[in-house]
Structure 1
Amino acid sequence: MKVRLGAILLAALLATPASAQADRQVVPLADGWEFSREEGVPDAATTLQWQQVAVPHTWNQVGYYLPDPESHINREESVDKYQGTGWYRLTFTPDSTFENRHAWLQFDAASRTAEVWLNGQRLGEHRGGFSRFRLDATAALRPGQPNTLLVKVDNTQPEVGTSTADILPLAGDFFVHGGLYRPVSLIGTSAVHVDMLDAGGSGILATTREVTGGTAQVDVRVRARNDGSRARNANVVARLVDAGGRTVATAQQRIRLPADGAGEVTQTLAVEDAHLWDGMADPYLHQLVVEVASTSGEVLDRVAQPFGIRTMQADPVSGFLLNGKPLRLHGVGYHQDREGKGWAVTPADIEQDFEIMREMGVNTIRLTHYQHGQVIHDLADRHGMILWDEIPLVSRWTLGTDAVATPELLANARQQLRELILQNANHPSVFTWGIANEVDFGKSIPAFISTAKDMPAPDPLPLLRNLNELAKAEDPSRATSLATCCEGRLGVTAEVPTTAVAADLGGANRYFGWYYGEPGDLSGHLDQMHALRPDQPLSVTEYGAGGATTIHTDNPLGGRVDQRGRNQPEEYESYIHERAWETLASKPYLWATWLWNSFDFATTVRREGDAIDINTKGLVTYDRQIRKDAYYFYKANWNSAPTVHINGRRYTDRAYPAADVRVYSNAPTTELSVNGRVVGAMSGCPQMICVWPKVTLAAGTNRIVARGLFPDGAQEDTVEWQLAPDAVRAIRIDSGALVAPEVTGKRYGSDDFFEGGKPGEVNAYSGYGPRPEMKVVTGTSEGAVVETYREGQFAYKVPLPNGRYTVDLTFVEPSSGAGERQFDVTANGARVIAALDVADVAGGPLKAITRSVPVGVTNGVLELAFVPVRGDAIVSGIEITQ
């Protein structure tokens, strides 16, 4: 009989029409704000200088491109890097219906700290710039009357003794913008409600415990709060509703709520013939509806949110498994800022970003290096994207001479991790909680380590283990993860801590071919890391290179890239991604890979490429206007939609009359034509990269067309390249240069047409530490040309029309003395220079000499071979004229 009565009561609760109290009042507070960043406290005796703003808002504007400043919002004169205190003030009149409601102020984020007053009454504070938080405004709110809301925010850079010294992040290669940069709202609820003070979360934690034979078990934990003055009995009802509006599972439980207190219940929903959330293949969402009702059946509060039934797992051998089936995860890291807006972006901005990533073929996003807002999570849920969420524990966790994290910083890290989990755990797209990024530098890069040089580097493991235990306690259903920089990496001589063991899943940030090593080193390194911990699933969480859209090279292997300087051509970024993906695609044990980065983003530690305070490793520019060539490499490989893209489209003023034409195409067959003449067709191009080597260009405008022949029709891409008449008359090669310098009266190209040898620089610099004193080469007016060279045993094969030519060869001995280096030079097999000793002829190192030789071309190619006699051959510049 008791069972029957319970069923009758449940049916009555579900059938009872909800009262007006069940529907929360949500009032966006977006317009009418005033802002000031002057020092002082605004009160009756102090008048600050206010300006009208709308929220979301940030006062910062950071990062700009050097070329064409008039085409950009961010310019040198508009930069604002202020980090400190800002004040926000809003006068608003809430509806009189709030008289009978409990009122809450909700801030989706405020950076880095926020302190809030309403009508002169201090409501509280929040420490952390990325999480949602709520404050009880009931006692201070005046319904139907003007109210004054005052918010103090502070994005001071953490240092010893500052107001933010114990708030993550302490460091990082990204700029921390200030302000109320996500929405603010006023919310009204019943006095009995699903807990509004559950670390900024919904008060609900739902997890798919298991799926067996089509039946799913979903556990739902509900926290309910009673802000009334007497204890209450209530019923908590949880329902799962399918996309057609049909309730597929229901559970209810009685709860006793103390006065001004909270309680918690856990229920299990059994779903027959469960329709699973299956990633991008079928991102099916149910609605999870939770109601708190009085014992008489009156619904007091209701929360409804999307929920996907699914299982996820990372396997150390098979990789990632979604609902028990393997799924290769390939995606991008993502920062939330954009040019002109910083962090104060709109939902439309985020949706645009998401669509750009989705078009590229991304099926996973690493939300770096902090908690992102609900918009990106909701989009991932709806479209089936898999997410890595993480807290801003980046690079550093101590200040000054501290050897361990302070208790206050530990508390803040735990707070931010709890908020991350409780605010995002109901999103089916979220797979893992990231607890740290690159805290394993040890003393390999002292800039990130604050302890004195004569002391051991701080040990991050105690902090990491504490956070890992907390994540498991809050959400046992998900794996933890972290990203490392340095374990087993080439070039690291200092002892570094092994941090990967502190989490369930491994993630490696590795930049072979950029900051260290060669691109080919990545494969062996990953195999080594996998063998070291064969039972821990491994992923690659960052890889890539800088790419300046206004800097170009004729050959990405022609010279050394300048990782910390200007010479970062777009073509080199493409080269690194091509080589890296070739390796990553061959490693089935990797549970995911994320390139760095989806978009260029602001930072204040870089002066690189064609930008100031911008990390240019994005595949799309900071303003979202340019999708770099590498973007289309991944689109051709990851997206089945027809893709044809000619590389080097922004390198319009060409240096040479012969150029490789590189096309990213996923067409079964791709044709190339130049100036209306078909050059050839290719099928089955490896990695969707079709290359026509040394295609002849004519003086003037050259129209290049790539035509992909797809089953449903042809797709074309067209570019126009210019070639000056002088570039036909004279070919000038700056040997060993990745980017050709500007020389008055002459147009040089970067190093190309070579086979063998290696590039070198007179003023080589790794980018770390103080730059050594510059060496000066004498004996020439073309200083920039002679500062680079190619050495070893090598040859140049330059396509040329048949005829007679003069070849001027410029040589510089960078360091050797007379007698240490001798070599021959041959032209089409005939020796034209014998046993040249540059140091002997020039009278010492760093003195340029030039030799001119006549040559004849009869087979369309001039081959210049540099053959060592003693030591390595060397050349700095080659000029070929008719």
Structure 2
Amino acid sequence: MSWPPARLRRRALIAGAGLTALASTLPHTARAEPGSDREPSGTELRTIDDTVVVFSYGTVLPALDGWTTHEPTRDYLDLDGRWKFAYDRDGAGEAAGWQQPGFDDDDWGTIAVPSSWDLRDNDGWAGYDGADFGKGGSLIDGDGWYRTRVEIPAGWRNRQVRLAFLGAFYRADAWLNGTWLGSHEGGHTPFALPVDGAALRPGRTATIAIRVHRAATYTSYDGTGQPIADDRALPSGPVDYWPYAGLTRSLWLEAVPEVTVAKLLLNADGPTLDARAVIENHGDRPFRGKIIIDPGRRTGGRPVTVPVEVPAGGVAVPAAKLPIPRAPEWSPANPVVLRATATITGTAGRPVTDTLSSTYGRRTVTVGQDQLLLNGKPIFLKGYNWHEETDRSGRSLTRAEYDHELGHAKQLGANLLRNAVYQRHPYVTDWADRNGVLQLDEWDTMWISEAQQAIQLEYGLSAALAAATAWHNHNHPSVIMWGLQNECTPNTPTYRTWLAQMRDAVKAIDLAGRPVTWASATSWDEAFDLADVVGFNEYFGYFYGKSEDLTPTLDQVHANHPGKPIVITENGTWSFWGNHGDPAEAGTEEHHAAYFQAHWDQVVAKPYVAGYAFWLLKDYKQRRNYNMNLNGLSYMGMLRWDGDTPRVVYDTFRAAQPPPWSA
């Protein structure tokens, strides 16, 4: 070859995590015991009434909107606030009874929930001074224990109760009144643990204890340590972001009726809403009644009533196709968010049993000849990657911080956020829906070796995370593609099997049929035939080759995969803020900007390229050895770590115009 293909990762190769078993082969278990050969949630897909339903912990994975929406038929106990907290580096807490309600925690400290223990007692987190690297809890690994006490309402005696989490990094085990509820693995995916009725004791004070574990990523953090891998974990070792530890997102107790709407799946394709209500009967008697599905205001549609029968301990999925003749089309220029509601009632004369509402938008995403089509029109994705963190709050952002961080998309004229390598807080998806910013959604499958992919085929964690992501974000119009992996070892039989299984899982769940892509480490990915959109990371002129090598690479990829649109999922370089000089000199702000412009110009010149995502919005933290002297900060951002101070490339990116054919 006279030209080099894109083939190297953004940073050095590291053993990653694993890949999934096909969803249909996931185990039918309520929950896995610690040390099991399967991931702990027992996630599986079951087809019920012609709809694929996600189960975890032996029950339907419920909609987890209680952090922002309270249904009138349900009760909620917000658990955010100050908790008792102690480190347990040796893992001795459980044997010592730290989970028991009678344990004396008077000498424990406290911690805010949500937050990360990395920022605890850490006054050097926000700076670039390498002398602050490792302060506070930022390099404390092992277990951290949380304890709190709450009053359980007496009215919860005949309710189904769950302990809901938006995220806990990395592995969480929870107890209520000394009864173990279950474990969850994966630090960025919402989950819910069913609460055993005998443990609940309504009308009395309950003790909740949660153990969160983060594994060490190096044998030492003095710059000489060797990477540590856990081949079943996702991620499996050192990666290119900071692994914020603890209860990093909100959690709450939620009490629902015995017969409940666990999930409302919505897909508005043209003037019709496909609505499917997943109803779960936790009781010991069959339920017979009806469900009323209302497409909501501004749709021109009317509620539809559907009869429903749910066996004892079973699940049913009544469905309806509802005309919505006046529903506005959702688009970046007109991001109209609608809300549908499903209400269960018993037979005539019986009261409402449960209600669940969900937002949605009327839009389509398809792939045409070489193009990505939004509502039938070709669109070019001007986007960037970003990490979910601030210099004040780590990964536990306030709503004001989210608004500030995400607002840069509007200032930059970007229409795509690549939520690279882990799930973002649901506030991000709600914000994107309201503000007309598209999303490429991903989970924690980053830098995974062939051997680890093989392990995941049995362990099943990446299958569980993929299914949960597609399930939780199904109804959001801003989510337009699923990204299966980032820079994992390609071109092996195991790799191809894994990708096919991941793709099949999300496709089975997604009524909207969103395109599937991934951020390949190479432009020669032999599995691109499995993708709807070809995606790869490229760093020509930085890690290899010359910037101008991108054009022949794009032409060759297009020739290899005719008809498929191409998206550059990553591209960027670095600069020292305030270092000005010749654009040809690496490390200057001018070089940073010129590098972006050179790649952008090549991308927009090709009508078969559907998008480009710059690496990245702002500087970010990570634990890898190469920049400890900079307090763990990488200098590749358009903005500095404070999220306010721009480099020259910020304005260059803002001025970049998509091709004229883009909608």
- What are the equivalent positions in structure 2 for 1:111-126 lying under 5 Å apart? 111-126=169-184
Of 73, 77, 86, which aligns to 1:23? Answer: 73
**What corresponds to 1:773 in structure 2?**
none
* Amino acid across the alignment from 2:301: V
2:368 to 306, 311, 315: 315
Query: Are 1:167 and 2:244 counterparts?
Result: no
In the alignment, the residues of structure 2 paired with residue 385 and residue 21 of structure 1 have an alpha-carbon distance, to the nearest angstrom, of: 27
In 2: Cα distance, 1:151 partner to 1:305 partner: 30
Alignment match of 1:502 (pick from 520, 530, 543)? 530
| Distance (whole Å) between structure 2 residues aligned to residue 388 and residue 440 of structure 1 | 21
- Max radius of gyration: which structure? 1
Give how far 1:166 is off: 1.5
**1:621-632 residue pairs with structure 2 within 5 A?**
621-632=640-651
Letter in 1 for 2:500: R
String of CA shifts for 1:809-854, please: whole Å, max 9, x gaps. xxxxxxxxxxxxxxxxxxxxxxxxxxxxxxxxxxxxxxxxxxxxxx
Structure 1 residue 557, shift from structure 2 partner:
1.4
Greater shift, 413-422 or 124-133, is seen at 124-133
Q: How does 1:659-670 map to 2 (within 5 A)?
A: none
Match of 2:473 in 1: 424
Distance 1:517 1:21, change over 3 A: closer
Matches within 5 A, 1:281-430: 281-296=333-348, 298-317=351-370, 319-397=371-449, 404-409=454-459, 411-430=460-479
Letter in 1 for 2:255: G
Q: Distance in 1 between matches of 2:505 and 2:129?
A: 49
User: Which of the numbers 98, 103, 125 marks the counterpart of 2:161?
Assistant: 103
Listed one character per residue, the Cα deviations across residues 541-590 of structure 1 (whole Å, up to 9, x for unaligned) are 0011112214x2421314xx3xxxxxx33222112112122222222221
Give 5+ residue unaligned stretches, structure 2.
1-69, 220-227, 659-663
Q: Of 568, 575, 582, which residue of structure 2 is paired with 1:555?
A: 582
SS in structure 2 of the partner of residue 435 of structure 1: strand
Secondary structure at the residue paired with 1:181?
coil
What secondary structure is seen at the aligned counterpart in 2 of 1:60? helix
CA drift of 1:363 comes to 0.7
Matches within 5 A, 1:720-869: none
Matched residue, 1:590: 609
| Structure 2 residue 156 is matched with structure 1 residue 156 | no
Q: Distance in 2 between matches of 1:358 and 1:206?
A: 27
1:23 Cα shift? 2.6
Contact 1:315/1:591, CA 8 A, preserved across alignment: no
CA distance in 1, matches of 2:126, 2:625: 12
| Cα shift at 1:240 | 0.7
Question: In the TM superposition, what is the alpha-carbon distance from 1:603 to its structure 2 partner?
Answer: 1.5
- 1:264 equivalenced with 2:300 (yes/no): no
For 1:692-707, list aligned pairs within 5 A.
Answer: none
- CA–CA distance in structure 2, aligned partners of residues 145 and 60 of structure 1: 34
Counterpart for residue 516 of structure 2: 480
Q: 2:117 aligns with which of 42, 55, 59?
A: 59
CA, structure 1 residues 504+606, in 2 after alignment: closer, same or farther (shift >3 Å)? farther
Distance 1:151 1:407 in 2: 29
| Structure 2 counterpart of 1:205 | 265
Report the residue type matching 2:613 in the other structure: W
Say how many residue pairs are matched: 567
**Residue type matched to 1:181 in 2?**
T
Residue type at the aligned position of 1:313:
T
TM-score, with length taken from structure 1: 0.61
Counterpart of 1:98 in structure 2: which amino acid?
A: W
Distance 2:264 2:218 in 1: 37
Q: Check conservation: 1:404, 1:458, Cα contact below 8 A.
A: no
Q: Tell me, what secondary structure is at the counterpart of 2:148?
A: strand
* Partners of 2:504 and 2:352 in 1: CA distance: 37
Judged with a 3 Å threshold, the aligned counterparts in structure 2 of structure 1 residues 343 and 408 are, in CA distance, closer, same or farther, namely: farther
The alignment status of 1:224 with 2:279, answered yes or no, reads yes
Residue 147 of structure 1 aligns with an amino acid whose one-letter code is A
Instruction: Determine the C-alpha separation between the residues in 2 that align with 1:105 and 1:408.
Output: 28
Contact persistence 1:607–1:614 (CA under 8 A): no
Task: Measure how far apart 1:234 and its partner are.
Answer: 2.5
Tell me the secondary structure at the aligned position of residue 146 of structure 2. Answer: strand
Distance in 2 separating the partners of 1:45 and 1:105: 21
Q: Assess if the C-alpha contact under 8 Å between 1:338 and 1:345 holds in 2.
A: yes
CA offsets 1:500-546 (integer angstroms, 9 cap, x no match): 23322211110112111222221221122111111222111001111
Flag the 1:67–1:249 CA change in 2: closer, same or farther, 3 A: same
> Alpha-carbon deviation of 1:287?
1.0
Residue 110 of structure 1 aligns with an amino acid whose one-letter code is A
Look up the SS of the partner of 2:303 in the other structure: strand
2:567 is the counterpart of 1:539: yes
Which one of 82, 85, 94 corresponds to residue 35 of structure 1? 85
Cα 1:169–1:501 change in 2 (3 A) is farther
* Separation of aligned partners in 1, 2:571 and 2:538: 5
Q: Determine the C-alpha separation between the residues in 2 that align with 1:21 and 1:271.
A: 24
Q: CA deviation at 1:367?
A: 0.6
Q: Can you list the C-alpha shifts for 1:244-269, whole angstroms capped at 9, x where unaligned?
A: xx762432322221222222222211
CA–CA separation in structure 1 for the residues paired with 2:546 and 2:458: 42
CA contact (8 A) 1:548 1:609 kept: no
Tell me how far 1:337 sits from its aligned partner: 1.8
Is 1:293–1:301's contact at 8 Å kept on the other side of the alignment?
Answer: yes
Q: Does the CA contact (< 8 Å) of 2:168 and 2:245 recur in 1?
A: yes
Larger % of strand: which?
Answer: 1
Change (3 A) 1:193 1:290: same
Q: Which residue of 2 aligns with 1:193?
A: 260
Q: Which amino acid aligns with 1:281?
A: A
CA distance in 2, matches of 1:133, 1:295: 33
1:55 Cα offset (Å): 0.9
Q: What amino acid sits opposite 1:268 in the alignment?
A: K
SS class of match (2:183): strand
Instruction: Give yes or no for contact 1:393–1:437 (8 Å, CA) kept in 2.
Output: yes
Q: Which runs of 5+ in 1 are unaligned?
A: 1-19, 196-202, 443-456, 489-496, 562-567, 640-882
Question: How far did residue 130 of structure 1 move?
Answer: 1.4
Q: Aligned letter for 1:556?
A: P
- SS of 2:428's equivalent? helix
2:301/2:325 contact within 8 Å kept: yes
Q: Could you say which residue in structure 1 is the equivalent of 2:18?
A: none
CA gap of 1:474–1:48, structure 2 versus 1, over 3 A, is farther
Q: Quickly say closer, same or farther: Cα 1:125–1:67, change in 2 above 3 A.
A: closer
CA contact (8 A) 1:30 1:183 kept: yes
- TM (norm. structure 2) is 0.80
- Counterpart of 2:35? none
Task: Render the CA deviation track for 1:54-101: whole Å, top value 9, x for unaligned.
Answer: 21121125996875689xxx6564572233211111111133333443
CA RMSD of aligned residues (A): 2.9
